[in-house]
Amino acid sequence: MKKTAIENIEITLLLDAIFERYGYDFRHYSRASIERRVRHFLSKSECDSISGMIPKLLHDESFFDIFVRDFSITVTDMFRDPFVYQSIRKNVVPILKTHPFVKVWHAGCATGEEAYSLAIILKEEGIYDKTTLFATDFNDGALDAAKKGIYALENAKKFTANYQAAGGTTSFSEYYHARYEAMALNQSLGKNITFANHNLVTDTIFGEMHLIMCRNVLIYFEKALQNRVLNLFSDSLVNGGILCLGTKESLMFSTISKLFAPMDENARLYQKKVL
């Protein structure tokens, strides 16, 4: 049997073991993505093979914690894809303003940059005070970083450019203060954000949301899991609620496509129809 075939068996056994032991279900993630992440982690571990990691993952919870933190994709930026935030400001905010209170779910928030970006827009548009924003991820390490709202100062120039391109109405420097080599976001931005652990693969809905953002997460899932998560989002949205996906993701060909109308296809904004 070829090495790649043996590795495929090892990876399948690894994912089954993780699910049975910890309840984390990676079995329906994109196989190519899974293979890359597993091999990357193996290269940094002291194990000789993928199957050699299984006993250690089963018996050593601290080793599993390291595995999960490494396995989670946390690549993000403030105002990532600025044109998306421009569209949110133009097309979504006017709808949110019609509600007496606003509930937002940012699923797969990683280290929090995009959740804070949305908070800034809502603040500038005068509706942050009536907003409750739930920012979730399954990676506790990423959530800890998100709660702190402290990022490398070297990102300030890029974040500022993104903010300006997203239609920012003031100077981005108003939203953070620099100390040492870090930029700390103003605590007021986090006052209405609840950061919490939530696993899209296994956990249940967040009800009555007016806006759900989940950007660049579905691309790591197989089709069946994508549809499961999209149905979860649909069930979590109020009628007329809005779903925002990543620029490489779409509702086209999904099981919920007929329940939504495109609001801005380029920005991947979709509005749930009132049936």
For the segment 62-107, what is each residue's pLDDT rounded down to a tens digit?
A: 898 888 877 766 668 999 999 999 999 999 999 999 999 999 999 9
Residues ≥6 apart with Cβ < 8 Å to 19: 25, 26, 27
The model's pTM: 0.87
Q: Structural domains in the chain? A: 3-71 (no CATH), 82-272 (3.40.50.150)
Read off the pLDDT of each residue in 211-230 and give the average, rounded to a whole number. Answer: 92
So what's the pLDDT on residue 123?
97
Residue scoring higher pLDDT (36 or 135): 135
So what's the pLDDT on residue 185?
97
pLDDT score of 47 more than 80: yes
pLDDT score of 136 more than 70: yes
Average pLDDT for the chain: 92
Nearest Cα residue to 114 out of 187, 232, 210, 216: 216
So what's the pLDDT on residue 1?
62
> Residue 73: left if φ>0, alpha if ψ -120 to 50, beta else—which one?
beta
pLDDT score of 139 more than 70: yes
So what's the pLDDT on residue 232?
95
So what's the pLDDT on residue 74?
64
Provide the strand spans (E) within 172-217. 176-179, 182-185, 193-197, 209-214
Residue 158 banded pLDDT, cuts 50, 70, 90: very high
Share of the chain above pLDDT 90, in %: 67
Give CA separation, 97 vs 15, 51, 75, 78, 191, in Å: 44, 53, 31, 23, 19
Cβ contact 242:92 at 8 Å? yes
Read off the pLDDT of each residue in 164-190 and give the average, rounded to a whole number. Answer: 94
pLDDT score of 3 more than 80: no
So what's the pLDDT on residue 182?
95
User: For the ranges 27-31, 97-101, 232-236, which has the lowest average pLDDT?
Assistant: 27-31
